[in-house]
A and B are shown apart, each in its own frame.
Chain A
Amino acid sequence: MGMKNMQVSSVTNFGRSGLSDWLIQRVSAVILLLYIVCHSAIILSTPEMSYAQWRELFAGTTMRIFSLLTLLALCAHAWIGMWTVATDYLTRRMMGSKATLVRLVFLVGCIAVLAIYFIWCVIILWSV
């Protein structure tokens, strides 16, 4: 039937399915929001934060897990978002036959940035 031979496939998106990407995008957004709200509350309720207090805050296991979770959520969220932008605008329709190469280079660049960001953050988190 018509639908079968026009089925859309994709191997570069985050979860291989539109549904999983959609869900991850929303769950990760909630995690990011919680992290922002939590830290805003801590900063606002501590009039003068000393370095020792700041260090102590991030040294705890709970905060480490929370920060790492947020970092993972950020990377997944950013990847899904950038992949979507790339497949909307860096396409054959927009720029002709060179589009696939441009898009792949752009996406590899995104992965590189996210990987560097992730490793760097882990080093920072575990150094306190």
Chain B
Amino acid sequence: MLVSVYRYNPETDLKPSMRDYQIEIPGGKDLMVLDVLAMVKEQDDSVAYRRSCREGVCGSDGMNINGVNGLACITPLSDVVKNDKLVLRPLPGLPVVRDLVVDMSIFYKQYERIEPYLQNDDPVPAIERLQSPEDRAKLDGLYECILCACCSTNCPSFWWNPEKFVGPAGLLQAYRFLADSRDTHTDERLANLEDPFSVFRCRGIMNCVAVCPKGLNPTKAIGHIREMLMERGA
């Protein structure tokens, strides 16, 4: 199989280029893209990419696989390879540190901005803040995000305004805390999202939903945030 990998080392290369590798794929099993990358690395150990848990939990190996963002470790070749060719590029829209490794600073900055932690001004109870099973169920489909950035880097609004638009990953987490019955800072959270960029740059094209490796739905969460903003402001 022909594997074409985006190569760029800012210290030695004037500009990025694609380098091709011929990889023998053993028959009889369906490898993951990450396995193929390991085989590429055996041929050429200068290839740089991030990986850690290799089972879709850590979110390190988000990359653009044959044009679609995904986690290399849980993307089987049979899902993405056509005409015996695999093209691997870094996540689009973020600065490239080297090869498939991108600088995620702006992505984390937007995550930090939505204050992704429980805020409650009520006196701290002796043991813990309780939540009914119904209220806990509201967090399903929100808390599972692993911050791999596949969604935000597939979003044109995030490409054009990454400093101002929170992006689907950040907004999914913003709603995770807006929806939490134990959080008392709902009003402040909403006030900080009401400007024309933070939430409202979402045009609802659902690119985020199409690529989320965990099957989450940021567009739906953004819709809920809009509803809450409407309740509060209209």
Partner of A17, one of B194, B201, B226: B194
In B144-202, the 8 Å CB interface with A consists of 156-157, 160-161, 164, 192, 194-201
In B185-221, the 8 Å CB interface with A consists of 192, 194-201
B113 adjacent to chain A (CB < 8 Å): yes
Stretch of A5-13, A37-45, A111-119 that contacts chain B: A5-13
In B109-127, the 8 Å CB interface with A consists of 109, 112-115
When the two chains form their complex, are residues B196 and A13 in contact, meaning their CB atoms are under 8 A apart? yes
When the two chains form their complex, are residues A8 and B157 in contact, meaning their CB atoms are under 8 A apart? no
A123 adjacent to chain B (CB < 8 Å): no
When the two chains form their complex, are residues A10 and B195 in contact, meaning their CB atoms are under 8 A apart? yes
Q: Known: A19-B230, A19-B234. Is A91-B196 also a contact (CB below 8 A)?
A: no
Q: How many residues of A contact B (CB 8 A)?
A: 24
Q: Which residue of B lies closest to A92 (CB)?
A: B163
Q: How far is the CB of B232 from chain A (nearest CB, A)?
A: 8
When the two chains form their complex, are residues A10 and B230 in contact, meaning their CB atoms are under 8 A apart? no
When the two chains form their complex, are residues A7 and B192 in contact, meaning their CB atoms are under 8 A apart? yes
Q: Known: A2-B113, A3-B115. Is A18-B160 also a contact (CB below 8 A)?
A: no
B residues neighboring A (CB under 8 Å): 109, 112-115, 156-157, 160-161, 164, 192, 194-201, 226, 229-230, 233-234
A-B pairs, 5 with minimum CB distance: A18-B200, A18-B196, A8-B195, A2-B112, A88-B160
